[in-house]
Amino acid sequence: MNIEEYSRKIEEIVSDNEYKPLRPEDMAELIGVPAEDSATFRELVREMVKAGDISFTKRGKIISSAAVGVIHGVFRGTSKGFGFVTPDTDQDYHSSRKEDIFIPAKKTFFALDGDRVVVRILDRGDGYFSREKRGGKDHFDNSKFKRGKNGKLYPIHKEKDDSSSKKDKGPEGEIIRISERKLEKTNVIGIYYEIFEKRGKRYYKVGWVEPDSKKLPYSVFVNVEEAEGKGVKIGDKVEVRVTRFPSEKHDLSGEILTNFGNATSKSANYAAILAENGIETEFDQEVLAEAEASSQREITLDGRRDLRDMVIFTIDSADAKDLDDAISLEKISVNGGVGYRLGVHIADVSEYVREGSAIDKSAMSRGTSVYFTDKVVPMLPKSLSNGACSLDGGVDRYALSAFMTLDGDGSLIETELCETVIRSCVRGVYSEVNDVLKKGTTSEFAEKYKPVLSVLGEMHELYRILKKRSEDRGAVELDTEEAVILLDSSGAPIDIRARERGDGERMIEQFMLCANEGVATFLTNLSLPCVYRTHEPPSPEKLESFIAFAVGLGLDVRPLRTKKLFPSAFASMLSQGRRAGLSSVLSNVMLRTMMKAKYSPRPESHFGLAIDLYCHFTSPIRRYPDLAVHRIVKAMLRGAAVGEKLTRLTSFAGEAAAFSSENELKALAAEREIDDLYKTIYMLDKVGEEFDAVISSVTSFGLFVQLENTIEGFVPIETLDGRFTFDDRNFILSYGRTSYRLGQSLRIRVVSADVSARKINMEIVDE
């Protein structure tokens, strides 16, 4: 056997349920290690123990790591140095609650946020490694430094206790190995600073970058001469590639790659956000040329169903240019009663983006279009996204059509899928459609919508049926608000308001939900692969926290106390919250309680929508998982989803799901941060002004408050008059008779707006 075979054999033996611990020499004899390999085998065992793959008992016998609480996972860091490890899902450890593992700052082994690590579970009070330094935040005050015994440069700062609020809240561990560094693949964004440090009788200039990320507890030291050579000035926002990771002997060090400019400017922060989240804004020439050539192809029937004479039209926002869904509706007889044949016609992007092409590889890498306040970064080049694929009015377009047969109660009877050619007869706009639905023929837009006026009324009728069905099954519809940011001609924000949604938006949403459910069910019934959109129920820990909060609001939590948790329980809580005028605050806490939806190749349910099988099918211009589902559907329609092709499609579904989930998180983070940037800029000239606000979040370090226009600010606990304590079960800060809780109305004053940090500080106005 070679080394790899020895290692694999050891892992097989120790993981057997019948295994009894053996000494290394006994393990070698069991495996059949020849005498000449004894030294190599002993070294292998030592390396496997060091790596956390196996462990030793107190008597020196080999045992599985899982048996002694050694696991693998991902470290999530904090600015205070401590962090948490989320164990890999296929592992187990000795914790009845199966929750994240708390890692004190002194036991992080210098791990950074996002690193893959090996952790040893500790009993409370375990002193192992307690005297060794395991990380700590370098808070620079820009003036005073000290030298550690190991030669490191440290700024003078107050030491903080990182464990005061973490005791008795789950398992604790220490990191014993870092198996993969996240910052080997990504870079650090931050602000550049310099300071003169006295060494003996001379002063030396020292440069460092203070990371924007609150999850990185170290500053990154850089070469001053190289920084100045690249034109970097103090206070510039820069991108740094890490060249040396922190240890007992070394600082976290790096090399400046990009200078975005002054950290207080919009342009520098905008560019930094794109870079930090890996948002690609340009296409390479090969992708552009391929897309342009593909977009020129002539539209022909070629075996497709001709739907150009059917009343089909689009409804979208006024500024949308990538129109990927159109709708049609026919009233029919179903089971002797009135029914509906809902047509959802989706741009056939897979006809232009072929598997393995340069466009396809680029689209998978991007994963999604990203929608910012002032622009769109598309997943596909504009020749396709705004051109050949967009379902513009009055022109022939390739589509993949889904026809859902529904009975009078909105129950899905069957789904038919087919390749089609369509011609949208009206380019509908939400605001106009809402006016038509409300006023009918007296609407100022009635003439434009005359070709679809009657069917629009039937669609509104079906929408109300589907909405009621959604409510009856317990789908969770949170009362959260999205911001609309209006810009002037120079790109500066001039107004911010909460986005209003009418029946037009909600109707299209219900129709798309129906199509997505129909396609997922269709593929599953045929045992074909699919990229499912899944959503797990809340974890027991989050659920208990939410129940405690709801009890504090005086709500009836009995629907949440059942053996099996149903989405309708949360819908019931929201209904109670609306009646009590607490819907907004309840929705915010509920959103934090819910798990994140993700893409998966496995047919699992969507908890929030209360749907057994669900996928994304309706937006292939802007989302790669939809394009992947289209590719699978078309293979089925053309009889190609068999044999080796079926195997490839199954593998493709898994790959697409993984990439799509990761890219979605990056896009959402970038969109949120750009919105926060504009909101902070908008508040710059509001410093000193007073506003009405509602407490949107309560933490141990202060209050987050939200204005009516969705802008959120922070009230530090230090600005509150008194020694406030935090009730983390009911989300309350209290001192004597004064308390602050979620949903409470306040009068606040804007204290500062930090564009670089995208943070707005506020204070409570005494009443």
Q: What is the tens place of the pLDDT at every residue in 244-278?
A: 999 888 889 999 999 999 999 999 999 999 999 99
Closest CA to 352 of 668, 128, 621: 621
* Three-class secondary structure of residue 208 per DSSP: strand
Higher-pLDDT residue of 414 and 126 is: 414
What pLDDT, on a 0 to 100 scale, did the predictor assign at position 17? 81
pLDDT tens digit sequence for 447-474: 999 999 999 999 999 999 999 999 999 9
pLDDT tens digit sequence for 617-660: 999 999 999 999 999 999 999 999 999 999 999 999 999 999 99
What pLDDT, on a 0 to 100 scale, did the predictor assign at position 95? 46
Domain 3-67 matches domain 69-263 at the CATH topology level: no
pLDDT tens digit sequence for 673-696: 999 999 999 999 999 999 999 998
Asked whether the predicted pLDDT for residue 379 surpasses 90, the reply is yes
Structure tokens at 122: 């500790």
- Measure the CA–CA gap between 765 and 691, rounded to whole angstroms: 9
- Measure the CA–CA gap between 296 and 276, rounded to whole angstroms: 36
Asked whether the predicted pLDDT for residue 20 surpasses 50, the reply is yes
Q: How confident is the model at residue 541 (pLDDT cuts 50, 70, 90)?
A: confident
What pLDDT, on a 0 to 100 scale, did the predictor assign at position 134? 36
How many percent of the chain have pLDDT more than 70?
92
Amino acid at 117: V
* Three-class secondary structure of residue 715 per DSSP: strand
pLDDT tens digit sequence for 648-679: 999 999 999 999 999 999 999 999 999 999 99
Average pLDDT of the segment spanning 362-382: 95
Please tell me the class of the 687-764 domain. mainly beta
How many percent of the chain have pLDDT more than 90?
71
Structure tokens at 606: 């969507």
Asked whether the predicted pLDDT for residue 145 surpasses 80, the reply is no
Among left, alpha and beta (phi > 0; psi -120 to 50; other), residue 542 is alpha
Asked whether the predicted pLDDT for residue 243 surpasses 70, the reply is yes
- The Cβ-side half-sphere exposure at 346, using a 13 Å CA radius, reads 31
What's the pTM value of the predicted model, to 2 decimals? 0.84
The CATH code for residues 69-263 is 2.40.50.700
- All residues at 6 or more sequence positions from 406 whose CB lies less than 8 Å from its CB, including other chains: 334, 339, 340, 341, 342, 412, 413, 462, 465, 466, 514
- Measure the CA–CA gap between 405 and 387, rounded to whole angstroms: 31
Asked whether the predicted pLDDT for residue 46 surpasses 90, the reply is no
- Measure the CA–CA gap between 582 and 579, rounded to whole angstroms: 8
The architecture (CATH level 2) of 3-67 comes to Orthogonal Bundle (1.10)
What pLDDT, on a 0 to 100 scale, did the predictor assign at position 291? 97
- All residues at 6 or more sequence positions from 587 whose CB lies less than 8 Å from its CB, including other chains: 478, 479, 480, 574, 577
- All residues at 6 or more sequence positions from 303 whose CB lies less than 8 Å from its CB, including other chains: 419
Q: Please, are residues 62 and 21 in contact by the beta-carbon 8 Å criterion?
A: yes
Using the structure block, give the residue that is written with the tokens 């409510």.
471
Using the structure block, give the residue that is written with the tokens 């809780």.
741
Q: Please, are residues 313 and 406 in contact by the beta-carbon 8 Å criterion?
A: no
750 strand-pairing partners = 762
Span between the terminal Cα atoms of the chain, in Å: 79
Q: How confident is the model at residue 767 (pLDDT cuts 50, 70, 90)?
A: low
Q: Please, are residues 713 and 763 in contact by the beta-carbon 8 Å criterion?
A: no
Question: The dihedral of CA 168, 118, 211, 685: what is its sign?
Answer: negative
Higher-pLDDT residue of 56 and 138 is: 56
Amino acid at 255: E
pLDDT tens digit sequence for 314-353: 999 999 999 999 999 999 999 899 999 999 999 999 999 9
pLDDT tens digit sequence for 164-198: 444 445 789 999 889 899 999 999 999 999 988 78
What pLDDT, on a 0 to 100 scale, did the predictor assign at position 6? 87
Distances (CA, A) of 466 to 342, 349, 403, 405, 409: 12, 28, 16, 13, 8
Angle at 312 between CA 484 and CA 465, to 5 degrees: 70
What pLDDT, on a 0 to 100 scale, did the predictor assign at position 667? 96
Mean pLDDT of the chain: 89
Q: How confident is the model at residue 53 (pLDDT cuts 50, 70, 90)?
A: confident
- Break the chain into its structural domains and give their ranges: 3-67, 69-263, 285-536+598-673, 540-593, 687-764
Amino acid at 195: I
Q: Which of 151-155, 282-286, 424-428, 744-748 has the lowest mean pLDDT?
A: 151-155
- Measure the CA–CA gap between 767 and 765, rounded to whole angstroms: 6
